[in-house]
Structure 1
Amino acid sequence: MNAPNARASERSEKSKDAGVLVIGLGRFGSSLAMTLDRLGQDVLAIERSPALVAHFSDRLPIVEADASNPEALDQVGAKDFSIAVVGVGTSLEASVLITGNLVDLGTPQIWAKAVSAEHGRILQRIGAHHVVFPESDAGNRVAHLVSGKLLDYIEIEDGFTIVKMRPPKETQGFTIGQSKVSERYGVTIIGVKSPGQEFVYAGNETCISSNDLLVVSGHSDLLERFAARP
């Protein structure tokens, strides 16, 4: 294991109880680590590739180490972190070994990237608390956007989804109460953004115009049906 950079050394002198350990600085791991760092979260990154360590050394607190080796994790003080994210996905063996090492350390929250359903099941079985599918989730989101009906799409859990969309013609010029969207389509308009105005939470008396943007929640199937209205 190579010596940590200056920011990583400073990081190691602080309490790590609320910190996040990010292992693997591919596209997913590096984006996550830099966003957390920008938000002021206490982050330490571990990467075994010397080239990636050199690339990110002036952007993140980083240590060059092989996290599939339990001794390397012990040397960086991984057991002191309350949250660890395993961003390694291309090597199934490395992903599983690293996650298993974190489980053995008793890390309270382990987030692990998976590249397939089978990979995700293995990670869950060995003790990962949260498994994420970045490529699958991104593909699912984009698939709902390419039709042009939806401007943004976030699936929360079990089909419950929040979308940003333009209002169907049948709602334009009417209040939410008058258009009876909830009764007719089973979805809820939770906010309205008019051009040049602040976002407002929607109520029955909120009037919708053709230029507004709607924030709507509900099951994905019902939202697709509502968004398909002319």
Structure 2
Amino acid sequence: MADRKDRGDAVAVIGLGRFGSALALELADRGVEVLGVDNDSKNVQQLSGQLTHVACADSTDPDALTQLGVEEFGRAVVGIGNDIEASILTTSILADFGVPDIWAKSISRQHSRILQRVGAHHVVQPEHDMGERVAHLVTGRMLDYVEIDEDYALVKTKAPGWAVGKTLGELGIRTKYGVTVVGIKSPGGRFTYATSETTIHGHTVLLVAGETGMAERFAEET
């Protein structure tokens, strides 16, 4: 096996259910070296030939992961969902191995806290995060919503009618609404950086960054 330095960009995806398999395939499509691991032979067979390496193994067994060379990978994703014990044990083993960048899927806040305590560097709750995002879209007039950090978001929204024909400098959106227009897309065009000289046209789409509440309030002005 190659040493860790040579595999710094490689990813070990452990748990090849819906989340893990989708992630592994997307990484493979991007040209990333991927090792897929699952204890269900059916999941392994389905991805055979689509990933760089795929193996059927018990991820709660340190020796099994050592034999697969998992400790040599620069990044690992624990995609195990419903088996919380296996998720925690696997994450702990990866931390003991000293894997530099460990991502783990969580199904609850308590699960997230435990994963962080045993060594996960990043914890994601796919269902919760998507539900929160859709809730913002359903209840507001935003075209898209991404939470960047706690209480800070990036919102995609139509430019308000009262802004048409004026520059961002003239509008003073940051002073009035406490948000910053960071990108702009004119009809038929592509997103580009916004400056104080940027003029707003009809049907323009804006990317606005700021505290979640303020960004939402600005989107409601459109």
In the alignment, what sits opposite 2:9? 18
Judge conservation of contact 2:80–2:87 (CA < 8 Å) in 1.
Answer: yes
Out of 121, 124, 129, the residue aligned to residue 121 of structure 2 is 129
Q: Shift of residue 115 of structure 1?
A: 0.6
Out of 190, 210, 213, the residue aligned to residue 221 of structure 1 is 213
1:212 aligns with 2:204: yes
In the alignment, what sits opposite 1:52? 43
Q: Shift of residue 148 of structure 1?
A: 5.4
Out of 27, 30, 36, the residue aligned to residue 18 of structure 2 is 27
Judge conservation of contact 2:184–2:193 (CA < 8 Å) in 1.
Answer: yes
- Distance in 2, Cα, partners of 1:104 & 1:13: 20
Q: What root-mean-square deviation, in Å, do the aligned CA atoms of Structure 1 and Structure 2 show?
A: 1.5
- Which secondary structure state, in structure 2, belongs to the residue aligned with residue 211 of structure 1? coil
Q: Shift of residue 202 of structure 1?
A: 0.8
1:39 aligns with 2:30: yes
- Which secondary structure state, in structure 2, belongs to the residue aligned with residue 150 of structure 1? coil
- Distance in 2, Cα, partners of 1:156 & 1:65: 36
1:59-114 alpha-carbon deviations (Å, 9 max, x no partner): 22311111111111011011101111100011101101101111121111111111
1:140 aligns with 2:127: no
Trace 1:53-72 onto structure 2 (pairs within 5 A).
Answer: 53-60=44-51, 61-72=53-64
TM-score of the superposition, structure 2-length normalised? 0.93
Trace 1:109-124 onto structure 2 (pairs within 5 A).
Answer: 109-124=101-116
Matched-pair identity in %: 47
| CA 17–203 in structure 1, closer or farther in 2 if over 3 Å, else same | closer
TM-score of the superposition, structure 1-length normalised? 0.90
Greater shift in the superposed pair: 91-100 or 159-168 = 159-168
- Distance in 1, Cα, partners of 2:43 & 2:187: 43
Counterpart residue identity of residue 74, structure 2? S
What 5-or-longer segments of structure 1 have no aligned partner?
1-11
Q: How many residues align?
A: 219
In the alignment, what sits opposite 2:99? 107
Trace 1:157-172 onto structure 2 (pairs within 5 A).
Answer: 157-172=149-164
- Distance in 2, Cα, partners of 1:13 & 1:130: 25
In the alignment, what sits opposite 1:9? none
Runs of 4+ in 1 over 3 A off after TM superposition: 12-15
What 5-or-longer segments of structure 2 have no aligned partner?
none
Out of 76, 86, 94, the residue aligned to residue 78 of structure 2 is 86
- Distance in 2, Cα, partners of 1:203 & 1:214: 12
- Distance in 1, Cα, partners of 2:185 & 2:48: 41
Judge conservation of contact 2:186–2:204 (CA < 8 Å) in 1.
Answer: yes
Counterpart residue identity of residue 141, structure 2? K
Counterpart residue identity of residue 75, structure 2? I
